Structure 1
Amino acid sequence: MTAPVKSSPLALTVLALLHYKPLHPYGIQQLIKQWGKEQVVNVGQRAGLYRTIERLHTGGLIAVRQTERDQQYPERTVYEVTDEGRAVAREWLDQMLAVPKGEFPVFPAALSNLPMLTPAEALDVLERRAERLAAQRADLASQLAAHTEDGVPRVTVIEHEYLLAMVDAEERWVRAVTADLHNGRLTWSPEMLAAFDEQRNAGAPEGG
């Protein structure tokens, strides 16, 4: 008996694309890019996609449909989703949509160590982040506008709406923090943090 296949955004996307039609790995990678899904699914390294396909195949969620042979290309294995794969994909999708998952993104982890910088250094790096977020927001907004003009069904680009909303909210938050750093409403120093730590330890119960 094989172990259950662990869900992941890439594994779900592969199953979803194979719901659409049987595909070989290169076709899956190209379709992800054509449909703009590379913004939410990491397919930068083809090896990662092949490992995911192998896990799905070993787990019985996809099966080999046929092997294509063409003089212009190397031999290609075409996969199709199995009935079990369809059921598992629906379970994964339900869980991913309905249940918020505890994740550990890089930015909050970096923020938790902000006292390593001086307020002036923090202001500089966060202002640079805000500018990058602004460019990202403009790019996402442009893509969404183009999709709308082309009559693309909204449901096929709904993740772009989410990304735009998240980037917009983060940019506004970062700019609010940089404003507080600029005018001194948010500040710290080694002495201030040492005094706070000393006060906190003085109030802690012994042996705690």
Structure 2
Amino acid sequence: MTTSAPRSSPLALTVLALLHYQPLHPYGIQRLVKDWGKEQVVNVRQRASLYRTIERLNGEGLIAVRETGRDQQYPERTVYEVTDMGREIARAWLEEMLSAPKQEFPEFPAALSNLLLLTPEEMGDVLQRRADALAEQLDGLEAALAAETERGLPRITRLETEYLRAVTAAELEWVCAVVEDLRAGRLSWSKEQLDAVAAGPVQQ
């Protein structure tokens, strides 16, 4: 009987990475994710998801129970530590995630491929709303970077925020350019053009 390899995920990698530094209980993991600004790239708002991930990692032998304790202020808490296999798997996951772009099928490109359900005016309106939201996100990322710098965090802990800022700024620039082209009439099409595309390539 063959055993499948442990399944990677951003949350699972983050749990293993944090346990590299010190043994932690789930609440401590959740707090560190927030304190280090990683909630921008890892969703720990759903505590149940974190507990399921920890349970899976424990079952796969990537982490182990270090101790279970209780004090007067808190209920019983289980402290976990990373195992040697967990350290090896975390490095393998990290190297793969960093080196190999993954086709993730995000929503926005899928929506762009179906924009023709809207009129040009409607396209401009909805994309302008996205541009406004992106501008707000960009302001938040700039503020987060400034706060992290002020707290004295080394740059290595801010790279994910830098990446999100760069990607958000690039998307905002592109969306604004598309909206401008729609408004100016530079982005246009005809029913005949679309019918020809739908008909497929011309047979010789």
2:182 matched to 1:181? yes
Structure 2: gaps of 5 or more residues: none
1:187 Cα shift?
A: 2.1
| 1:122-174 C-alpha deviation (Å, 9 max, x unpaired) | 10000010011011111111221222233220001110000000000000000
Residue 118 of structure 1 is matched in structure 2 by 119
| 8 Å CA contact retained: 1:61, 1:81 | yes
| 8 Å CA contact retained: 1:60, 1:82 | yes
CA gap 1:71/1:189 in 2 versus in 1, 3 angstroms: farther
| 1:77-136 C-alpha deviation (Å, 9 max, x unpaired) | 110000110111011111111111111111001101111111110100000100110111
1:195 Cα shift?
A: 4.4
Structure 1: how far apart are the matches of 2:151 and 2:71?
35
Identity %: 65
Residue 8 of structure 1 is matched in structure 2 by 9
Q: What is the RMSD computed on CA atoms of the aligned residues?
A: 1.6
Q: Structure 2 counterpart of 1:93, which letter?
A: L
Map residues 81-120 of structure 1 onto 2, 5 A cutoff. 81-120=82-121
Q: Structure 1 counterpart of 2:19, which letter?
A: L
2:77 matched to 1:76? yes
| 8 Å CA contact retained: 1:15, 1:81 | yes
Structure 1: how far apart are the matches of 2:29 and 2:167?
27
Q: Structure 1 counterpart of 2:137, which letter?
A: Q
Structure 1: gaps of 5 or more residues: none
Structure 2: how far apart are the matches of 1:171 and 1:144?
18
2:165 matched to 1:168? no
Residue 56 of structure 1 is matched in structure 2 by 57
1:27 Cα shift?
A: 1.1
| 8 Å CA contact retained: 1:18, 1:81 | yes
Q: Structure 1 counterpart of 2:173, which letter?
A: R
3-state SS of 2:172 partner: helix
Residue 31 of structure 1 is matched in structure 2 by 32
Residue 67 of structure 2 is matched in structure 1 by 66
Structure 1: how far apart are the matches of 2:115 and 2:197?
16
1:197 Cα shift?
A: 2.2
CA gap 1:191/1:160 in 2 versus in 1, 3 angstroms: same
Equivalent pairs counted in the alignment come to: 203
3-state SS of 2:162 partner: helix
1:204 Cα shift?
A: 4.9
Q: Structure 2 counterpart of 1:141, which letter?
A: E
Structure 2 length normalisation: TM-score? 0.93
